[in-house]
């Protein structure tokens, strides 16, 4: 079975390229998705994308992914810091997940250092810009082969 990954972009990621480009970069979401898709294809990984600014929609999408994907790469945006509902959704579906962030969350405001989902994720990658997502693809390509 081919590796199938659901890439979830959380709140405000629809504004990539416009919102604080000095922090999040100049790449737009559609271009980021294209980059991820091309890279994933080169690794034999299939990807689907989802973006929402609404916590419940993200949780519903995670639930629908049960038994349909090999893993989830999620940039939960601000939900990282307080959404126990998102944490429970990831834990509940028992799909391996990788938490990613474009910016270096450890060198920003103190609240950004807190992740309530990190304990239900296999790995956390931040501070590498779009490369954070590509490293998530690498994680699942290696996970499936090893």
Catalytically annotated residue among 9, 39, 101, 133:
101
pLDDT of 26-43, one tens digit each?
A: 999 999 999 999 999 999
Q: Active site includes 101? A: yes
Written as six digits, the tokens of 98 are 């990788």
pLDDT of 91-132, one tens digit each?
A: 999 999 999 998 888 777 777 778 999 999 999 999 999 999
**CA 100 – CA 103 distance, rounded (Å):** 9
3-class DSSP state of 5: strand
- Domain map (residue ranges) of the chain: 3-145
**CA 25 – CA 40 distance, rounded (Å):** 21
Q: Active site includes 24? A: yes
- pTM exceeds 0.85, yes or no: yes
Is the Cβ–Cβ distance between 130 and 27 less than 8 Å? yes
- Give me Rg for the CA atoms of the chain: 14
Catalytically annotated residue among 24, 81, 106, 133:
24
What CATH homologous superfamily does 3-145 map to?
Dehydroquinase, class II (3.40.50.9100)
């Amino acid at each position: 079975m081919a590796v199938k990954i659901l890439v979830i972009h959380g709140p405000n990621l629809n504004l990539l390229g416009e919102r604080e480009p000095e922090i999040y970069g100049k790449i737009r979401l559609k271009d980021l998705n294209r980059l991820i898709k091309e890279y994933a294809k080169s690794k034999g990984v299939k990807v689907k994308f989802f973006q929402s600014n609404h916590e419940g929609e993200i949780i519903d999408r995670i639930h629908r992914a049960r038994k349909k994907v090999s893993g989830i790469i999620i940039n939960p945006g601000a939900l990282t810091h307080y959404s126990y509902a998102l944490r429970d959704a990831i834990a509940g579906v028992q799909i391996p997940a990788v938490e990613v962030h474009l910016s270096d969350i450890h060198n920003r405001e103190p609240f950004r250092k807190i992740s309530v989902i990190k304990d239900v994720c296999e790995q956390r990658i931040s501070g590498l810009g779009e490369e954070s997502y590509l490293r998530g693809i690498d994680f699942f390509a290696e996970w499936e082969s090893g």
